Amino acid sequence: MDLFDALFAPLARLLVARGVLFPALVERMKAHYVQAALHLSGGSGTDSRITVMTGLQRRDVARLRGAEIRDQRPNHLARLVALWLTEPEYQANGRPRDLPRNGPAPSFEALATALRRDVHPRTMLDALLATGTVGPGADGQTVRLLQSSYQPLAGSEDQITYLARNLGDHMSAASENVQGHQPPHFERAVHYSGLTENQVTALDARFREGQMALLRQIGQEAATMKRENSAPGAMRLRAGGYFYQTRDET
């Protein structure tokens, strides 16, 4: 278990900061343990076999083997920004248009309504204004996209949901590689110590610039491919990267 401390430590800090009590975590993990054991057993493991694989009591296995663990739906504000960046009618000279707040497409109202009819466009606009994702256009009558992605407010439910989905897919890629998934998922990182703060800051800036350029390109190509599909595809992807810096304690 010592090998997993590097994973447990930041997760524990996050859960304690969010007020998640340990008994609640244990109960949630029981369901995930059962589902993992069922998956490794091809979905047909008996309660006794699942008990042996997980160390859980038989009554917990019987109670949880049918539990539904639902993935949360994609964030509609993130999808709105992605469509604004990629849909042709919302582009002008290869860049996202400044949009009228209301009216027929292309407008912010039309874009928001296309995604969620149960959420008022003004509610979406206020949320994006609050995070600095959008701002007023030059004429004061339109809305301008200021960021290339929706960045939720620190500590908000939207941010926690994004973290869970993003790290969940990253963890899935890494753990499946360890278990021999073929072909392997791409999962790489660069690690250096002994650098100065200014050197790390310079590398951070270079990484951000290059990473964002690549992510924009991948996003645009994926959006074009999706529009050209004659029938909906069955596959999804998530591609990302991270840059972490801290004091060298070695």
At 229, list the tokens. 């599909």
pLDDT at res. 72: 59
Mean pLDDT to the nearest integer, 24-51: 92
pLDDT at res. 158: 86
Mean pLDDT to the nearest integer, 163-190: 93
Backbone phi and psi for residue 212, each to the nearest 5 degrees, phi listed first: -65, -40
What architecture is the 76-145 domain classified under in CATH? Orthogonal Bundle (1.10)
At 44, list the tokens. 């047909």
pLDDT at res. 34: 94
Directed axis angle between helix 76-86 and helix 197-228, to 10°? 80
Is residue 172's pLDDT more than 70? yes
Share of the chain above pLDDT 70, in %: 97
pLDDT at res. 32: 94
Q: How confident is the model at residue 108 (pLDDT cuts 50, 70, 90)?
A: very high
Nearest by Cα to 167 from 242, 245, 235, 70: 242
- In the three-class reduction of DSSP (H, G, I as helix; E, B as strand; rest coil), residue 91 is classed as strand
pLDDT at res. 18: 87
Element (H, E) at 142: strand 142-145
Amino acid at 188: R
Mean pLDDT to the nearest integer, 188-216: 94
Q: What is the DSSP string of 30-88?
A: HHHHHHHHHHHTTT---HHHHHHHH---HHHHHHHTT---PPPPPPHHHHHHHHHHH-G
pLDDT at res. 71: 62
Residues 6+ apart with CB under 8 A from 169: 238
Edge-to-edge strand ranges of the sheet holding 99-100: 99-100, 142-145, 134-136
Instruction: Express each pLDDT in 44-91 by its tens digit.
Output: 889 999 999 999 999 999 999 887 776 656 688 999 999 999 999 999
Is residue 250's pLDDT more than 60? no
Q: How confident is the model at residue 147 (pLDDT cuts 50, 70, 90)?
A: very high
pLDDT at res. 45: 85
